[in-house]
Amino acid sequence: MTAIKVGLVGIGAQMKENLLPSLLQMPDVRIIAACDTDRARVTEIHRFVPGIPVKDSVVDLLKDIHVDALVMAGPPQMHREAALLAMQRGVAAFVEKPPCSTLAELEELVDVANRHGVVTGVGMNFKFAKPIRQLREMTTSREFGDTLFVQINHYANKPRTPLWGLDSSLRSFLLAQAIHTIDLAVTFGRGELIDVRPRVQRHSDGLIVNGDLTFSSGVTASLLSGTTFPYFEFQMKVVSSTSTMVELDNLWNMTVHEPEHGTNVTGVAKRWRGTWQPGPLDSGYERSGYYGELLAFFDAVRARGCFEADYASLLPTYRVIEAICQEETESAFEGLSLRSQSRSEHTAIAL
Amino acid sequence: MTAIKVGLVGIGAQMKENLLPSLLQMPDVRIIAACDTDRARVTEIHRFVPGIPVKDSVVDLLKDIHVDALVMAGPPQMHREAALLAMQRGVAAFVEKPPCSTLAELEELVDVANRHGVVTGVGMNFKFAKPIRQLREMTTSREFGDTLFVQINHYANKPRTPLWGLDSSLRSFLLAQAIHTIDLAVTFGRGELIDVRPRVQRHSDGLIVNGDLTFSSGVTASLLSGTTFPYFEFQMKVVSSTSTMVELDNLWNMTVHEPEHGTNVTGVAKRWRGTWQPGPLDSGYERSGYYGELLAFFDAVRARGCFEADYASLLPTYRVIEAICQEETESAFEGLSLRSQSRSEHTAIAL
Amino acid sequence: MTAIKVGLVGIGAQMKENLLPSLLQMPDVRIIAACDTDRARVTEIHRFVPGIPVKDSVVDLLKDIHVDALVMAGPPQMHREAALLAMQRGVAAFVEKPPCSTLAELEELVDVANRHGVVTGVGMNFKFAKPIRQLREMTTSREFGDTLFVQINHYANKPRTPLWGLDSSLRSFLLAQAIHTIDLAVTFGRGELIDVRPRVQRHSDGLIVNGDLTFSSGVTASLLSGTTFPYFEFQMKVVSSTSTMVELDNLWNMTVHEPEHGTNVTGVAKRWRGTWQPGPLDSGYERSGYYGELLAFFDAVRARGCFEADYASLLPTYRVIEAICQEETESAFEGLSLRSQSRSEHTAIAL
Amino acid sequence: MTAIKVGLVGIGAQMKENLLPSLLQMPDVRIIAACDTDRARVTEIHRFVPGIPVKDSVVDLLKDIHVDALVMAGPPQMHREAALLAMQRGVAAFVEKPPCSTLAELEELVDVANRHGVVTGVGMNFKFAKPIRQLREMTTSREFGDTLFVQINHYANKPRTPLWGLDSSLRSFLLAQAIHTIDLAVTFGRGELIDVRPRVQRHSDGLIVNGDLTFSSGVTASLLSGTTFPYFEFQMKVVSSTSTMVELDNLWNMTVHEPEHGTNVTGVAKRWRGTWQPGPLDSGYERSGYYGELLAFFDAVRARGCFEADYASLLPTYRVIEAICQEETESAFEGLSLRSQSRSEHTAIAL
């Protein structure tokens, strides 16, 4: 198999902790160049891949070196600008989330991708996390029945202030954190997103965002997230028409509650459930999805096919993000006297 | 202390499994009579309290025997009728939930109770369950800060058909099961209930009911319940302005997630949390609340005071129940073509 | 069914918290008298059972009142003396653990019981705890195979000083706490106890006692207990010839690990296990065994049969207790220079 | 920092799944050659490190290419032979466990290492697993007090037949699996190992091995392992003189039970404990120890210092392995009529 030639853009924490290790252990992928505006950071790459050319701009990298794909990790503005440059040269463009700041920008990226016929990707690692893949498989099995309800609790404690030069900490939070939650709701909701009912609470510099998404499939997804939590944790439940409920706790433990369960020594009996834990030595980047997302992206690059987490896949997610931002803006106009509940009266947001 | 003289009404499963054992082990309470339309059932009481008079109607019991209080467990019609008879004679009236079938009936019960000045009570045992009491204490501590958000998941698998001669399985479910969930939301929400946004999903004979309640205190409570689950389980989370989150799992385990936690041997460190489990021999009826509710009720009877779970305390809960039933009725008129999301457009239900 | 007439002896904490509530809710059992050397304590019984005669000595109680059985909770000396008095009058004698302080005393009790043909019982509530009963049923099923190994961890934090006038805190601990652990090992070990290998560690006033018991059935039981733990907890594991391992955690949660397990939605798959939790409202005294032990004892009294936890059933347990005490005594003679490991060289203690 | 030049020996599953990925993401380490007797396997390396020379024997590799260290993963005979070749040329030698089959062989390896002054290492990844490092830090803190007791349960389901041409499935199991358990006991036991009391049970082709190790520090370690379990799991507890108990469950969850614990909202209260879980996205090879062991090994190579898991560090572990094997051999001579308990009478094995 011919190796894919990759250029790295943005050699910061996310690149070094998650993307680079995944790339280094991936077969038939060659890191052949790197670029960062910070000279000290970009030369760090030589501790892992000696001798490759390093650049201080994406323009130079693309001009001087032939790469099949760029893998980028930085702020959304950089993602957007660099992705546009790459796509215009026919180079596949994988960016960390978020790919950009607004729905309009995303639509532009999708449009350019379509026009140039390049493979694109966003680092939606939750979607590719091994237990989420298992969950997707389980919940699409015949035995599970039809998904009726999805509950996702995604606890975060940041960002408490606006990121990336944005003026809204709500938008920053949605782009940095809730993008995963919403994307998972869209993934498990299936069908078209037809209704969003968000509710935003602010207390000091912290946010609590919750609400329901409804899909044409009949699935309702109830989301809880925000920055007023003590630390990052993640829990997900899916309930089906066969009265089966699958739980995922923190990408580690799964529980299947089903009306009839038991063991060989008990036979089917009340209150028994099936639980799963990873083995003690579970290692690597498959559990967290960093390996899986890049592997699938490069498969698409090789096949000139479609990557599941391409830019277009995020359109419903950005529509929800815009709906939530819009809802808070409108509430603000109504004045404090109406209190928080009034924020939510604009529920039938056109999608 | 003078013992309280109690008459039992309805010697079925709930009486025998939970109320009677709690009463038998309660100091200064005497069961002096019992009544049930079924002769075989009522004489069962003699295995526990030998020699007491047994009756086949509440009318006879109240006529022939002086009791301080009736403790009743049966269908809501019986609760309502027997409670009215008792109150009119100045007898304190404790009924299992639900006390009656509609808000209008509850308002009548409250009205009669007020006119006769009797102590009333409903078996809202969750509210008196020991870990819920602990949770209430914890969440009202200064260190916890202001409650911002409450999430309650109450999984049930019945009733799948209407109970007690009602024509709605939704109302039956709300009265039999969700009454606890809603009552807890009201309890932890504090202040006046100012908004209800319910969503009802039906699949075959099963229900999923979810939605948000908003309180004048600023608290939002998000509830998930229904009958499409494999078995009964209960989970609750409360999030505060100090970024503390308290979890209660099935009335057994508590977890406090707080931004700063640790142990003597670690010091404060990331991802440590405090968890609590009952001791291995935790016994009796305090954990489940059956003992506590009756103890507090009899204290009120002795003090001629107010019992926390009196009929009036359930008014907001019944308003929510009516709102949910009304929402489904209206949705039904709109026809199937509008799909499920349209059911929820009537959100600002006047309470 | 004729009710059994019961006299209570020793109205202290254990009686009031566990035995009395269990008796009060048990059908066809009448508490007809009580006795305690402390007048204030004994009259407490009238808050629960009004009007019954109360005495300040067992002698008086037995002389004046005809009882079918005594239920006693006090120090072992009282248990022994009162049980002897009761048995000599043909009265069934149930005592809290420990029934007496030494193997020699227990042998005397067994001897007297045999001569008088009375039903005897000891409050080995663990053995009757509902999850332990479930475990016993599971581990004797054909599917489980042969039990090979049992591990019991029983954490305690007291007694740190000698109890009941004994001069040994080790013996006090064994009689007050480890008696349960050893009795469970004997129960699950099955067959004759043929080897004991104890090890005693002392640190300040705390103990750690561990070691293996071997049974003629081929089962080995490995025990860990002591008073150097932070609080009381209990864990048990049973491993079988079919590579099935059953775990019980704190009398609440059970887990069955088996080579082949799965759910309807996963099919048999690696690392799935069956777990069980009590329902949220699990109440009463069946879980902790206080109800079950008394129910079975009274069944034996009615049937003039044998109660599983009679005095004789504890003979192997007391042999282990004596072996552990003897081992420490011998180690003490050997002097400190030989250090702790030398304590354990006398392993083939004759049983 | 000058990069270390590494040659790989044995490109099988363990190398590809754990060692190679760890090496690829390690800074300042260069894989410059590989060797395997199987041509197809060795050329696999080119999918990750293109263009490096590959060999079919260690002799050729060492002859043709200057490497600073060999990293080897194969059967113990290969480890031993290749390590001897490497050490004789002054090349640092890291081997997967087990480094060899017997204590005598290990003593030879240690002797050669000492004579040539080379850095050696064994892949004792448990010892370097991140939560074990945390445990070591916690249990050596002043607040923890003195370690008194260690319990390690290491469940395995293989090997059921002899490995690597050995004639004993017991020795195979000890070298393949229990080597970790014993090494951890030695690590946490501290001081000199002064007593071993093993017990071996066989049922069909499965083993249960348990027993106590005693150390000059006063620590007792109680081990349970074997191949009669359904699947691989790992649990560890450490108890101290301050009545603190630290638990590690499967390298994922930690719990600290301490006499005084609580949260900000409860204050110190009974039955609260501190628990820790990894974050949802915990990734890489640090948790399982594969990264840490190699990082520390290369640090030692750079510093020409001592690596904690060098060959000599395993001497006490191999003494325990020999003691267990010897115990079973002796038992076999005694005949079946003496039953299993007799196997354990030879307890004071000279170490």
Res C16: pLDDT: 97
Top residue of A154, A157, A203 to mutate, by most chain B CBs within 10 Å, is A203
Question: Which residue numbers in chain D have pLDDT < 70?
Answer: 1, 332-351
d(CA B110, CA A251): 49
CB count, 10 Å around CB of C59? 13
Pull the structure tokens for residue B159. 């009733």
Burial D213-226 (b: 16+ CB within 10 A, else e): bbbebbbbbbbbbb
d(CA A351, CA C229): 59
Give chain A positions within 8 Å (CB) of C269: 276
In residues, how long is chain A? Answer: 351
Res C233: pLDDT: 97
State the amino acid at position A224 in one-letter form: L
Residues of chain B with CATH 3.40.50.720: 4-126+290-310
Res C327: pLDDT: 84
- Find the helix or strand (DSSP H, E) in which B35 lies: strand B29-35
8 Å CB contact between A191 and B134: no
Res B333: pLDDT: 53
d(CA D82, CA D102): 16
Pull the structure tokens for residue C22. 């269990």
Nearest to C208 among D149, D233, D347 (CB): D149
Q: Could you tell me the end-to-end alpha-carbon distance of chain D, in angstroms, rounded to an integer?
A: 43
CA distance B214 to chain C (A): 27
Give chain D positions within 8 Å (CB) of C194: 339, 341
- The answer, for B275 touching chain D at a CB cutoff of 8 Å, is yes
Res C332: pLDDT: 59
| Mean pLDDT along residues A273-295 | 96
Nearest to C148 among D201, D216, D218 (CB): D201
Res D336: pLDDT: 38
Nearest to A252 among D20, D231, D252 (CB): D252
Q: Is B28 exposed, middle or buried (0-12, 13-18, 19+ CB in 10 A)?
A: middle
8 Å CB contact between C92 and C119: yes
Strands A147-155 and A233-240: antiparallel
Q: Is C265 exposed, middle or buried (0-12, 13-18, 19+ CB in 10 A)?
A: buried
Give chain C positions within 8 Å (CB) of A271: 276-279
Written out in words, the top-level CATH class of the domain with range C127-280+316-344 is alpha beta
> Bridge-partner residues for C93, per DSSP?
C70, C120
Flag if D271 and B272 touch (Cβ within 8 Å).
no
- The answer, for B133 touching chain D at a CB cutoff of 8 Å, is no
Give chain C positions within 8 Å (CB) of D347: 344-345, 347
Residue ranges of E strands in A134-244: 147-155, 193-203, 206-215, 220-226, 233-240
d(CA D154, CA D210): 10
Question: Which residue numbers in chain B have pLDDT < 50?
Answer: 334-350
Res C189: pLDDT: 96
d(CA A2, CA D317): 47
The CATH number that domain B127-276+316-344 falls under is 3.30.360.10
- Please report the DSSP string for A262-313 in residue order: EETTTEE-TTEEEEE---TT--BSSSSSHHHHHHHHHHHHHHT---TT-GGG
Please give the share of chain D, as a percent, with pLDDT higher than 70: 94
D186: phi then psi, degrees, rounded to nearest 5: -60, -40
> Bridge-partner residues for B149, per DSSP?
B220, B239
In residues, how long is chain D? Answer: 351
Taking domain D127-257+316-344, whether its CATH number is 3.20.110.20 is answered by no
- Please report the DSSP string for C256-285 in residue order: EE-SS-EETTTEE-TTEEEEE---TT--BS
| Mean pLDDT along residues C240-267 | 96
Peptide bond into C98 cis (omega under 30): yes
8 Å CB contact between C19 and C294: yes
CA distance D313 to chain C (A): 23
Give chain A positions within 8 Å (CB) of C278: 271
Architecture per CATH, A127-275+316-344? 2-Layer Sandwich (3.30)
Pull the structure tokens for residue D164. 């690597």
State the amino acid at position A92 in one-letter form: A
Note the Cα C101 to chain centre separation in Å: 14
Nearest CA in chain A to B232: A271
- The answer, for A277 touching chain D at a CB cutoff of 8 Å, is yes
Written out in words, the top-level CATH class of the domain with range B4-126+290-310 is alpha beta
Flag if D264 and B244 touch (Cβ within 8 Å).
yes
CA distance C17 to chain B (A): 9
> Bridge-partner residues for D214, per DSSP?
D195, D220
| Packing angle of the helix pair A103-116, A76-88 (nearest 10 deg) | 20
Give chain A positions within 8 Å (CB) of D125: 281
- Find the helix or strand (DSSP H, E) in which C139 lies: helix C130-139
8 Å CB contact between B226 and B324: no
State the amino acid at position C182 in one-letter form: I
8 Å CB contact between A36 and A42: yes
DSSP state, residue B17? I
| Packing angle of the helix pair D130-139, D179-189 (nearest 10 deg) | 30
3-class secondary structure, B265: coil
Q: Write the CA distances from B305 to B68, B72, B121, B299, integer angstroms.
A: 14, 20, 12, 8
8 Å CB contact between B108 and B99: no
Q: Write the CA distances from D48 to C189, D31, D52, D56, D289, integer angstroms.
A: 55, 10, 10, 18, 22
Tracing tokens 């359904």 back to the chain, one arrives at D230
* Residue C293: CA count within 13 A, CB half-sphere: 27
- The answer, for C225 touching chain D at a CB cutoff of 8 Å, is no
C4-124+290-310 topology per CATH: Rossmann fold (3.40.50)
Sequence-separated (6 or more) residues with CB below 8 Å from residue B177: B154, B156, B158, B159, B225, B227
* Res C79 pLDDT > 50: yes
d(CA D184, CA C245): 23
Res D349: pLDDT: 44
d(CA C6, CA B344): 62
> Bridge-partner residues for C240, per DSSP?
C147
- The answer, for C288 touching chain B at a CB cutoff of 8 Å, is yes
Nearest to D263 among B258, B271, B278 (CB): B258
State the amino acid at position C129 in one-letter form: A
- Find the helix or strand (DSSP H, E) in which A173 lies: helix A169-173
Res B332: pLDDT: 59
* Res C295 pLDDT > 60: yes
* Pairs of residues, one from chain C and one from chain D, whose beta carbons lie less than 8 Å apart: 133
- The answer, for D25 touching chain A at a CB cutoff of 8 Å, is yes
8 Å CB contact between A165 and A198: no
**What's the complex ipTM?**
0.93
Flag if A252 and D280 touch (Cβ within 8 Å).
yes
8 Å CB contact between B246 and B255: yes
Sequence-separated (6 or more) residues with CB below 8 Å from residue C255: A275, C246, C247, C249, C273, C274, C275, C276
- The answer, for D155 touching chain C at a CB cutoff of 8 Å, is yes
3-class secondary structure, C8: strand
Flag if C222 and D203 touch (Cβ within 8 Å).
no
d(CA A337, CA A315): 35
Write the pLDDT tens digit of every residue in A96-115. 999 999 999 999 999 999 99
- The answer, for A108 touching chain B at a CB cutoff of 8 Å, is no
Res D347: pLDDT: 41
Note the Cα B36 to chain centre separation in Å: 24
**Order of all β-strands in the sheet with C4-9:** C54-55, C29-35, C4-9, C69-72, C92-95, C120-122
Give chain B positions within 8 Å (CB) of D278: 271
* Res A195 pLDDT > 70: yes
* Res C348 pLDDT > 90: no
Write the pLDDT tens digit of every residue in A315-341. 999 999 999 999 888 765 543 333 333
Sequence-separated (6 or more) residues with CB below 8 Å from residue A40: none
Residues of chain A with CATH 3.30.360.10: 127-275+316-344
d(CA C238, CA D229): 11
Sequence-separated (6 or more) residues with CB below 8 Å from residue D231: A279, C257, C259, C270, C271, D155, D157
Write the pLDDT tens digit of every residue in C146-169. 999 999 999 999 999 999 999 999
Tracing tokens 């039903």 back to the chain, one arrives at C119
Give chain D positions within 8 Å (CB) of B272: 274-276
Between A191 and A346, where is the model more confident? A191
Top residue of B11, B14, B25 to mutate, by most chain C CBs within 10 Å, is B25
Write the pLDDT tens digit of every residue in A138-181. 999 999 999 999 999 999 999 999 999 999 999 999 999 999 99
Architecture per CATH, D4-125+290-310? 3-Layer(aba) Sandwich (3.40)
Flag if B261 and D278 touch (Cβ within 8 Å).
no
d(CA C271, CA C269): 7
Q: Is D39 exposed, middle or buried (0-12, 13-18, 19+ CB in 10 A)?
A: exposed
* Residue B174: CA count within 13 A, CB half-sphere: 28
Interface of D with B in 51-90 (CB under 8 A): none
Write the pLDDT tens digit of every residue in A208-244. 999 999 999 999 999 999 999 999 999 999 999 999 9
Tracing tokens 């009381």 back to the chain, one arrives at C232
CB count, 10 Å around CB of D339? 16
Give chain A positions within 8 Å (CB) of B228: 148-149, 239, 241, 243
Write the pLDDT tens digit of every residue in D207-222. 999 999 999 999 999 9
* Residue B10: CA count within 13 A, CB half-sphere: 22
Residues of chain C with CATH 3.40.50.720: 4-124+290-310
Write the pLDDT tens digit of every residue in C183-235. 999 999 989 999 999 999 999 999 999 999 999 999 999 999 999 999 999 99
8 Å CB contact between B12 and B5: no
Give chain A positions within 8 Å (CB) of B218: 201, 339-340
* Residue A75: CA count within 13 A, CB half-sphere: 8
d(CA C255, CA C247): 5
